């Protein structure tokens, strides 16, 4: 054996760059000249609905699942309609007529969609990291409170104040997610339990802030902060209705979340951690940092939902401004299969339920609380989805077993050497 | 302070601890079998509602209690069907139980009683008289305030401990929670065992709910459980998935609740809105400090399927 | 006495089975998973009181067959007879009721429970009420465990938690557990896979004691010496079908006869002669990895070790002797308490995992599903794990190129001959071997100076194994260093240039493969040879 001193050494100068073998690099940069198809848009889901993804990875399958889930949930809630002594037709017309029957009705549905959409994104972002943020309701409340307080007390030009309110709301929501995030990252406390606790803390804090003797209560209105100054509210974008610019904020949030999740390294790390924490850690992702980041982002979106609702609809913070948007958001995220576009669709569906629930109560005598039941049913059907799809695909064709394939004949390894190494000179 | 620490504080702490203690036991059984049940809150609400409903129509709170237990079997079966039989995600499925529980009970109040938010009063489960004990000085008042249900609940703590750690059935349940595959190889029917454990957790959750609605109070109110199902889970984690430490944690939460209630009367300076959050803050604090990195049964959250 | 060779048959000896009913008789048992036939019309007859070997390579269908026999998998076709009685096995409980006990390849003990608890687990009386009302009698169980273990020639503490036991002790508890319900037939699936040579010796003695007691034993193995030593008869499986059967004589006339039988069995097992040993490294370059007094302050170290360019250094040892701690320290998942790691004379001790990868370390993890791939993510995403920081995929933190990642993934798929329906398909849709090839290709694409390959071929079939070996040898020949951690001594002897032996987190022996003495390595692994510690 000879010791050769002219051996190649690693290029330490380029340490900060991703090391890549030249052949692979050429592949990646497209200089190798092979005709690769440009990959079509794809969606990757965390472990939670990995089964679902495997069974129907394509867009059509997702739309079908979406519709079937809604249909199943609605059918399952039919007994409630009979219990309430109403009939199906009346209920349907009341619901959809009330939500979509006229221009103003559609605008009102859109108004309802805004917080559901943003809060749904908040839940979805956490889910992508395999974290269940059930505390979006609390983050939304606290974000709304902070936005309301900033709007009522800080002295700034209106537009700047509006931006300050929205940012303050996001920071408030993020701070409210910080404690569960730290507990999860460093103590292993399950985020479901801790974020729920924070919900009750949020209710207590926001009620205290605007209690009769509370520090921020308005002089002219109990259980609310003072109105934000003129011009600080989000502008109305459809005259004669309540539809406000929050819709644009929500759609921008959808675009940004989509981009970050699927088109940035940080989103990749987040999804990787959600899909396989071990692989993420072994490839150099700091699990603690990503856990905190994911929950903070989720909390910030929750706070944004609250701030937008406070600035767009009421112009002030009411302690009871959320009828449980944060909880419906769980159903929104899951029904949307955690994809931001899917969240838009399912957010719209739940907005129809919310907007239609008022005429529903008036005409058909069905309690608004039914929205909660339907979201529960949607979540239940999403939870059972892997099993249903398994049954369905099992019925179509026998399941293919992983291990079994391995025993199948492989093409014998080629004699030529692996092409990826450069010979040392 | 002397006004705070009285016998009546102990009484109220015990009464406030039991509706956390019962779902804690339910959560413990379920998690020991390998199914995470965060749906206890919804199961409690359904139980509390069913208890009032049956009591309202029959006039007997005891039948109401039976009705609550039956509702627990139903909600437990629903969760078991989703998680154990269909192997759906446990956290998502139990979140569904919470949403349905909260929505359904609130939606049914106006359907049945034509009013929103809370039901009319119904009969409560009465206290019972235990000779000798209630004549004791000082502590006698505690016994006078207890009903038969309280005694049953305390007995249940012992029963759950005994079954889980001293019987064959408990060994089977614990084996399923640690490693479903190993349990299966040992000839244990994992699916049946887990199903049973989840159904029992539903029964315990419903019992906790019924305790609130027909023992502590005499009516049902929308969202009356106020997160006790989740406090129960925190207590279970705090007790490291063991019965007695978990029960102690529940009693600690009960005291926190009781102190918060009394402090409202005693110390006007502290806003009561903030005091209400005391048990939750305490739970967060407990999770942050005392509990080491929490680790439950190894198999929790993993659906079981044979290769 | 040339009976040994003559006894090779392809049909079982019908005349014998008429005298006493066979302990186990399988006829025409078939099982397929999707398009793949794991078992093809298998006939197997096990005589009572014998030790019957089941020999075959990974993926030959041995484990599937035994799972069928233990009621864990239901066959598509075929009949099972136990002691002459036709049975239908729906679950392992059924198999246990018919007197079949099984020792799984992966331990089935529950670590948090005590030995006694594990032994009585699932053995309660039938019937709901009886089960509920019956308190656990752990004392009686403990007494019985001690009695039974003493009869079999070893000692056991019934109140010890299983997670605190050594691998060898656990294996014995497994056997006790399998016998607990009065099993008359014991099936052992690769029982010595994780055992050190002395532990394996004890196990062999134990099995011989069992046989003397009249227990029928089915031994699944791919280790030829084990089969030759213990078995009365062996059935060879290949590609899911019975390739042949042979009687193994108690004593051989001479070494030649023994070797002839072994050679015949190997041919039956792999369908060809033993693969040729690839060429050794010819060129040794300077040190790539240099580890000095490295310790994690707990179960590992201090260790000094060098890996040169152009060599494959194998770390061998019984599982759990510091190998995984070593890998974690090298890639930075745990921080070193003392000592240092240098890569090409550059100190990397304080670097993060990511920085180490950027310095030229690549890592094929031991547990693919836990550490290497994300099942639900696509081939593209899995190919880009660890490449997403900086150029070429993410020139800025706000942009991660999908097009470039797609081309890159396609390149790996082509080079490594990964069989995937599309690069957008989730990795879960690939077979295990193809997933592993993807991981190997990804790690090779780092142009690593040092490749850490932890059991890179575990559970792979022959073709995938060869492809992985080829890749590692290619890297070595190109001047890179390879650190191979393997439990499979055959693999080590096939591709490694140098061998170090780990025991209790320290290096206890070192040799070149060319001069290696397998017995010496066994002594190092088991700690028998204390004085040779460097």
φ, ψ dihedrals at A336, nearest 5°: -80, 10
Contact check, Cβ <8 Å, A189/B287 = yes
Q: How far is A402 from chain B (nearest CA, A)?
A: 10
pLDDT band at C487 (very low <50, low <70, confident <90, very high): confident
Chain A touched by B69 (CB under 8 Å):
no
Closest-CA residue of chain B to C71: B185
User: How many residues can be counted in chain C?
Assistant: 534
Bridge partners, C101 (sequence order): C186
Whether residues A401 and C398 touch (CB distance < 8 A) is answered with no
Nearest in space to C203 (alpha carbons), one of C51, C55, C70, C92? C51
Q: At the fourth CATH level, which superfamily is domain C1-98+184-268?
A: P-loop containing nucleotide triphosphate hydrolases (3.40.50.300)
Measured distance CA(C253)–CA(A310) in Å, rounded? 94
In 3D space, the residue among B101, B89, B73 whose CA is nearest the CA of residue B35 turns out to be B89
Q: Do B280 and A84 touch (CB under 8 A)?
A: no
Tokens standing for residue C439: 């991981």
- For chain C, the structural domain boundaries read 1-98+184-268, 100-176, 287-532
Question: Cα separation of A68 and A236, whole Å?
Answer: 35
pLDDT of C276: 53
- Of B20, B25, B148, which is closest to residue B76 (Cα–Cα)? B25
Which structure tokens are listed for A213?
């003797």
Chain A within 8 Å of C307 (Cβ-Cβ)? no
Domain C287-532 - what CATH class?
alpha beta
Q: How far is CA B163 from CA B153, B171, B194, B195, C135, in A?
A: 15, 9, 15, 16, 8
- Rounded to an integer, the average pLDDT of C495-518 is 88
State the count of interchain CB pairs (< 8 A) between A and C. Answer: 305
Non-local (6+) Cβ contacts of A357 within 8 A are A95, A98, A366, A368, A370, A371
Per-residue pLDDT at A420 exceeds 70: no
Among chain A residues, the shortest Cα distance to B236 is held by A193
Displacement of CA B149 from its chain's centroid (Å): 14
Q: What is the pLDDT of residues C282-324, one digit of tens each?
A: 677 889 999 999 998 877 879 999 999 999 999 988 777 888 8
User: Residue with structure tokens 């049953």?
Assistant: B152
Closest C-alpha among B62, B66, B51 to residue B225: B51
Q: Counting one residue from A and one from B, how many pairs have CB atoms under 8 Å apart?
A: 173
CB A299 within 8 A of CB A142: no
HEC readout, A100-117: HCCHHHHHHHHHHHHHHH
Structure confidence at residue C225 as a pLDDT band (50, 70, 90): confident
User: Is CATH 1.10.3470.10 what the domain over B7-126+146-288 is classified as, yes or no?
Assistant: yes
The whole-angstrom distance between residue C379's C-alpha and the CA centroid of its chain comes to 26
Contact between chains at B166 and C135 (C-beta distance less than 8 A): yes
Residue A107 pLDDT > 90: yes
DSSP C283: E
Beta strand C100-103 with C185-189 is parallel
Say if C4 is an interface residue toward chain A (CB within 8 Å): no
Judged by CB atoms closer than 8 Å, whether chains meet at A197 and B95 is answered as: no
Q: Which of C122, C183, C189 to mutate to test the interface with B (most CBs of B within 10 A)?
A: C122
Candidate from C70, C72, C136 with C-beta closest to B168: C136
- The alpha carbon of residue A95 is apart from the nearest alpha carbon of chain B, in Å, by 16
For C192, residues 6+ apart whose C-beta sits below 8 A from its C-beta are C199, C200, C203, C221, C223, C226
CA distance B71 to B49: 9
**CA–CA separation, A95 and A353 (whole Å):** 7
Comparison of pLDDT for C199 and B292, the residue scoring more: C199
| Domain ranges for chain B | 7-126+146-288
Closest residue of chain A to B90, computed from CA coordinates: A383
Report the sign of the C-alpha dihedral through residues C251, C256, C261, C266, in that order. Answer: positive
Identify whether the C-beta of residue A307 lies closer than 8 Å to the C-beta of residue A143.
yes
Which of chain C's residues have a Cβ under 8 Å away from the Cβ of A53?
376, 426
Report the residue from A4, A50, A263 with minimal CB separation from C376: A50
Contact flag C110-B182 (C-beta cutoff 8 Å): yes
Choose the mutation target among B164, B186, B299, B300 for the interface with C, i.e. most C CBs under 10 Å. Answer: B186
List, in sequence order, every residue forming a beta bridge with C242; answer none if it has no partner.
C237
Q: Does position C265 have pLDDT exceeding 80, yes or no?
A: yes
Name the residue with tokens 């791939």. Answer: C373
State the ipTM, two decimals.
0.88
A194–B271: do the CB atoms touch at under 8 Å?
Answer: no
List, as own/partner pairs, every contact residues A164-167 make where C-beta atoms lie below 8 angstroms and the sequence separation is at least 24, other chains included: A165/A228, A165/A232, A165/A307, A165/A310, A165/A311, A166/A249, A166/A304, A166/A307, A166/A308, A166/A311
Q: Which neighbouring-strand residues pair with C284?
A: A3
Contact B307 C131 (CB under 8 A): no
B291 CB near a chain A CB, below 8 Å?
A: yes
Give the burial class of B240: count Cβ atoms within 10 A of its Cβ; 0-12 exposed, 13-18 middle, 19 or more buried.
middle
Q: Are A308 and A167 in contact (CB under 8 A)?
A: no
Q: A351 has which bridge partners?
A: none
- Give the Cα separation of A301 and C53 in Å (integer): 62
Q: How many residues does chain B have?
A: 307
Q: What is the pLDDT of residues C54-113, one digit of tens each?
A: 988 766 788 888 888 888 888 999 999 998 888 888 888 888 888 888 888 776 888 889
Predicted confidence band of residue C128 (pLDDT cuts 50, 70, 90): low
**CA–CA dist C51, C283 (Å, integer):** 48
CB contact under 8 A, A183 and B99: no
pLDDT score recorded for residue C152: 81
Please report the pLDDT score of residue C272 as a whole number: 54
DSSP A365-383: ---TTHHHHHHHHHHHHHH
**B212: which 2 tokens?**
């609130």
pLDDT band with cut points at 50, 70 and 90 for residue C328: very high
- Do the chains contact at C92 and B183, CB–CB below 8 Å? no
Q: CB-based contacts of C308: which residues, under 8 Å, 6+ apart? A: C284, C285, C286, C287, C288, C481
Work out the minimum CA distance from B171 to partner chain C, whole angstroms: 7
* Bond from prior residue into C104 cis (ω within 30 degrees of 0): no
Residue A305 half-sphere exposure toward CB, CA atoms < 13 A: 36
Mean pLDDT of C459-470: 80
User: pLDDT tens for residues A179-217?
Assistant: 999 999 988 888 888 998 999 999 999 999 998 888 899
Instruction: Determine the Cα–Cα distance for residues A6 and A413; give it in Å rounded to an integer.
Output: 32
Residue C271 confidence (pLDDT): 66
Please tell me which of the candidates B82, B109, B294 has its beta carbon nearest to residue A188.
B294
- A156: pLDDT strictly greater than 80: yes
Instruction: Say yes or no: B296 contacts chain C, CB-CB below 8 A.
Output: no
Task: Please name the chains neighbouring A, where neighbouring means 3+ C-beta pairs under 8 angstroms.
Answer: B, C
Inform me whether the C-beta atom of residue C102 falls under 8 Å from chain B C-beta atoms: yes
User: Which among B158, B170, B185, B188 is the top mutation candidate for probing chain C, defined by the most C β-carbons within 10 Å of its own β-carbon?
Assistant: B185
Q: Which chains are adjacent to chain B, needing at least 3 Cβ pairs under 8 Å?
A: A, C
Residue of chain C minimizing CA distance to A46: C376
By the CB < 8 Å criterion, does B182 face chain C?
Answer: yes
Report the alpha-carbon distance of residue A135 to residue A201 in Å, rounded: 10
User: Which pLDDT value is given to residue A17?
Assistant: 55
Average pLDDT of adjacent 10-residue blocks, chain B of 307 residues = 68 92 96 93 97 95 96 96 89 91 91 86 83 73 83 94 90 91 85 95 97 92 90 88 93 90 77 85 82 68 71
The confidence score (pLDDT) of residue B77 equals 97
Residues of chain B found within 8 Å of residue A46, distances taken between Cβ atoms: none
pLDDT at C367 over 60: yes
Where are any strands of DSSP class E within C173-225?
A: 185-189, 216-221
Across chain C, mean pLDDT equals: 83
Least confident of A329-333, B80-84, C32-36, C401-405: C32-36
Is the per-residue pLDDT at A391 higher than 80? no
Residue B168 at interface with chain C, using a CB cutoff of 8 Å: yes
- Contacts C131 to B, Cβ<8 Å: 168-169
Q: Do B186 and C121 touch (CB under 8 A)?
A: yes
Yes or no, beta carbons of B86 and A387 under 8 Å apart? yes
For chain B, the straight-line distance linking the first and the last C-alpha, in angstroms and rounded, comes to 62
Distance CA A201, CA A194 (A): 11
Q: Which of residues 334-363 of C touch A (CB under 8 A)?
A: 343-346, 352-360, 363
Rounded to an integer, what distance in angstroms lies between the CA atom of residue B132 and that of residue B134?
Answer: 6
Residues of C in contact with A269 (CB under 8 A): 388
Report pLDDT digits (tens) over A357-379.
888 888 887 888 888 888 899 88
Q: Which residue has the tokens 């924490």?
A: A277
Separation CA A141–CA A320 (nearest Å):
9
Chains with 3+ CB–CB pairs under 8 A to C are: A, B
Q: Out of 1.10.3470, 1.10.1760, 1.10.20, 3.90.550, which CATH number does the structure's domain A47-393 have?
A: 1.10.3470
List Cβ neighbours of A252 (8 Å cut-off, separation of 6 or more). none
Q: To 10 degrees, what angle do helices B7-32 and B148-166 make? A: 40
**Backbone phi, psi, residue A382, to 5°:** -65, -40
Residue (of C352, C397, B295) closest to A286 by Cα position: C352
Question: Is the CB of residue C397 less than 8 Å away from at least one CB of chain A?
Answer: yes
pLDDT at A297 over 70: yes
Alpha helical stretches, state H, B36-138: 40-58, 61-80, 90-113
Cα–Cα dist B263/A145, whole Å: 26
Task: Taking residues A385-389, report their average pLDDT.
Answer: 74
pLDDT at A209: 93
Q: Is the pLDDT of residue A129 over 50?
A: yes
Residue A134 with chain B: CB contacts under 8 Å? 38, 95
Taking the CA of residue C140 and the nearest CA in chain A, the distance in Å comes to 39
- pTM for this structure? 0.83
Whether the pLDDT of residue C374 is over 50: the answer is yes
Q: What confidence score (pLDDT) does residue C132 get?
A: 59
The SS3 assignment for A255 reads: helix
What's the confidence (pLDDT) of residue A31? 60
Taking the C-alpha atoms of residue B27 and residue C282, their distance in angstroms, rounded to an integer, is 64
pLDDT at position B285, please? 86
| Distance of alpha carbon A350 from alpha carbon B232, whole angstroms | 31
Select from A200, A334, A380 the Cβ nearest to the Cβ of B82.
A380
């Amino acid at each position: 054996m000879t010791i050769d001193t002219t051996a190649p050494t690693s290029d330490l100068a380029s340490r900060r760059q991703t090391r890549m073998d030249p052949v692979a690099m050429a592949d990646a940069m497209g200089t190798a000249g092979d005709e690769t198809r440009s990959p079509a848009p794809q969606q990757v889901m965390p472990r939670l609905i990995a089964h679902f993804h495997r069974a129907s990875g394509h867009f059509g399958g997702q739309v079908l699942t979406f519709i079937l889930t809604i249909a199943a949930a609605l059918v399952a809630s039919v007994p409630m309609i009979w219990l309430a002594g109403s009939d199906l037709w009346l209920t349907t017309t009341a619901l959809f007529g009330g939500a979509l029957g006229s221009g103003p009705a559609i605008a009102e549905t859109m108004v309802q969609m805004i917080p559901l959409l943003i809060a749904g994104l908040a839940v979805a972002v956490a889910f992508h990291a395999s974290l269940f943020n059930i505390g979006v309701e609390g983050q939304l409340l606290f974000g709304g409170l902070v936005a309301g307080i900033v709007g009522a007390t800080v002295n700034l030009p209106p537009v700047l104040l509006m931006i300050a309110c929205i940012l303050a709301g996001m920071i408030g929501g993020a701070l409210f997610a910080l404690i569960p995030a730290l507990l999860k990252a460093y103590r292993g406390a399950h985020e479901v339990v801790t974020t729920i606790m924070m919900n009750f803390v949020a209710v207590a804090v926001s009620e205290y802030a605007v209690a009769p003797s509370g520090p921020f209560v308005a002089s002219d209105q109990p259980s609310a902060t003072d109105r934000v100054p003129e011009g600080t509210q989000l502008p109305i974008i459809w005259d004669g209705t309540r539809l406000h610019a929050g819709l644009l904020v929500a759609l921008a949030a959808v675009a940004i979340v989509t981009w970050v999740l699927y088109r940035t390294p940080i989103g990749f790390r987040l999804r990787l951690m959600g899909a396989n924490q071990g692989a993420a850690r072994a490839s150099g992702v700091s699990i603690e940092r990503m856990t905190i980041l994911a929950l903070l982002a989720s909390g910030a979106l929750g706070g944004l939902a609250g701030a937008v609702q406070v600035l767009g609809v009421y112009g002030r913070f009411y302690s009871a401004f959320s009828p449980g948007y944060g909880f419906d958001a769980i159903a929104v995220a899951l029904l949307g299969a955690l994809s931001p576009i899917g969240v838009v669709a399912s957010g719209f569906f739940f907005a129809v339920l919310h907007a239609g629930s008022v005429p529903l109560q008036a005409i058909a005598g069905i309690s608004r609380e039914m929205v909660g039941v339907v979201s529960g049913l949607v979540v239940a059907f999403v939870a059972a989805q892997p099993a249903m799809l398994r049954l369905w695909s099992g019925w179509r064709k026998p399941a293919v077993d992983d291990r079994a394939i391995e025993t199948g004949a492989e093409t014998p390894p080629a004699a030529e050497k692996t092409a990826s190494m450069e010979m040392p000179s | 302070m002397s006004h705070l620490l009285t016998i009546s504080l102990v009484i109220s702490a015990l009464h406030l601890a039991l509706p956390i203690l019962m779902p804690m036991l339910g959560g413990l059984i379920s998690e020991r079998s390998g199914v995470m049940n965060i749906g206890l809150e919804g199961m409690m609400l359904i139980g509390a509602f069913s208890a009032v409903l049956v009591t309202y129509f029959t006039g007997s709170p005891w039948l109401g209690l039976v009705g609550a237990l039956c509702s627990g079997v139903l909600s437990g079966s629903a969760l078991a069907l989703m998680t154990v039989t269909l192997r759906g995600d446990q956290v998502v499925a139990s979140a569904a139980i919470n949403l349905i529980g909260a929505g359904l009970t609130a939606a049914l109040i106006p359907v049945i009683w034509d009013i929103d938010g809370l039901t009319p009063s119904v009969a409560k489960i009465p206290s019972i008289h235990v000779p000798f004990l209630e004549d004791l000085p000082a502590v006698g008042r505690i016994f006078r305030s207890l009903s038969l249900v309280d005694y049953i609940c305390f007995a249940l703590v012992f029963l759950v401990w005994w079954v889980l750690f001293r019987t064959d059935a408990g060994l089977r349940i614990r084996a399923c929670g640690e490693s479903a595959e190993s349990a299966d190889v040992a000839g244990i029917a994992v699916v049946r065992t887990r199903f049973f454990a989840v159904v029992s957790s539903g029964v315990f959750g419903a019992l906790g709910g019924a305790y609130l609605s027909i023992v502590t109070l005499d009516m049902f109110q929308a969202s009356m459980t106020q997160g006790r199902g989740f406090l129960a889970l925190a207590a279970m984690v705090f007790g490291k998935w063991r019965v007695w430490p978990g029960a102690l944690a529940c009693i600690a939460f009960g005291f926190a609740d009781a102190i918060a209630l009394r402090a409202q009367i005693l110390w006007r300076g502290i806003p009561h809105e903030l005091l209400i959050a005391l048990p939750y803050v305490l739970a967060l604090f407990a999770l942050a400090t005392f509990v080491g990195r929490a680790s439950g049964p190894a198999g929790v959250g993993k659906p079981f399927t044979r290769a | 006495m040339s009976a040994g060779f003559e006894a090779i048959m392809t049909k079982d000896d019908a005349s014998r089975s008429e005298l006493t009913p066979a302990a186990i008789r399988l006829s025409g048992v078939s099982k397929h998973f999707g398009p793949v036939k794991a078992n093809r019309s298998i006939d197997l007859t096990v005589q009572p009181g014998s030790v019957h070997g089941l020999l075959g390579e990974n993926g030959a269908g041995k484990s599937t067959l035994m799972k069928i026999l233990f009621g864990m998998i239901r066959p598509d076709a075929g009949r099972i007879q136990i002691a002459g009685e036709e049975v239908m096995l729906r679950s392992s409980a059924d198999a246990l009721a018919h007197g079949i006990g099984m020792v799984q390849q992966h331990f089935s003990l529950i670590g948090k429970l005590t030995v006694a608890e594990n032994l009585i687990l699932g053995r309660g009386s039938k019937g709901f009420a009886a089960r509920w009302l019956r308190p656990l009698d752990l004392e009686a169980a403990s007494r019985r465990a001690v009695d039974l273990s003493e009869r079999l020639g070893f000692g056991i503490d019934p109140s010890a938690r299983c997670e605190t036991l050594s691998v060898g002790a656990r294996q014995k508890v497994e056997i006790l557990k399998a016998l607990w319900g009065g099993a008359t037939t014991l099936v052992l699936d690769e029982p010595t896979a994780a055992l050190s040579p002395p532990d394996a010796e004890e196990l062999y003695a134990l099995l011989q004691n069992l046989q003397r007691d009249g227990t029928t034993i089915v031994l699944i193995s791919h280790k030829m010496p084990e089969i030759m030593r213990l078995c009365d008869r062996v059935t060879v499986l290949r590609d899911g079908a019975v390739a042949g059967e042979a009687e193994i004589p108690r004593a051989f006339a001479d070494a030649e006869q023994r070797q002839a039988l072994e050679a015949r069995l190997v041919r039956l097992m792999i369908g060809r002669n033993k693969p040729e040993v690839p060429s050794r490294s010819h060129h040794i370059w300077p040190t790539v990895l240099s580890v000095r007094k490295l310790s994690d302050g707990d179960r590992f170290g201090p260790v000094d070790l060098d890996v040169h360019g152009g060599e494959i250094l194998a770390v061998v040892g019984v599982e759990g002797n510091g190998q995984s701690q070593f890998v974690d320290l090298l890639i930075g998942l745990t921080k070193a308490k003392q000592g240092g790691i240098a890569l090409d004379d550059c100190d990397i001790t304080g670097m993060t995992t990511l920085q180490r990868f950027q310095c030229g370390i690549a890592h094929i993890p031991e547990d693919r599903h836990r550490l290497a791939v994300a099942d639900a993510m696509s081939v593209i995403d899995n190919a880009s794990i660890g490449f997403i920081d900086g150029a070429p995929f993410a020139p800025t933190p706000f942009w991660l190129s999908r097009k470039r990642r797609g081309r890159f993934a396609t390149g790996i798929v082509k080079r490594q001959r990964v069989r995937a329906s599309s690069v957008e398909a989730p990795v879960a849709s690939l077979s295990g071997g193809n997933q592993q090839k993807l991981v190997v290709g990804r790690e090779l694409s780092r142009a690593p100076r040092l490749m850490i390959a932890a059991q890179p071929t575990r559970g792979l079939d022959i073709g995938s194994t060869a492809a992985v070996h080829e890749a590692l040898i290619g890297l070595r020949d190109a001047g890179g260093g390879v650190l191979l951690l393997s439990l499979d001594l055959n693999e080590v002897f096939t591709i490694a240039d140098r061998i170090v032996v780990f025991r209790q987190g320290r290096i206890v022996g070192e040799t070149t493969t060319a001069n290696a003495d397998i017995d010496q390595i066994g002594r190092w692994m088991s700690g028998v040879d204390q004085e040779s510690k460097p």
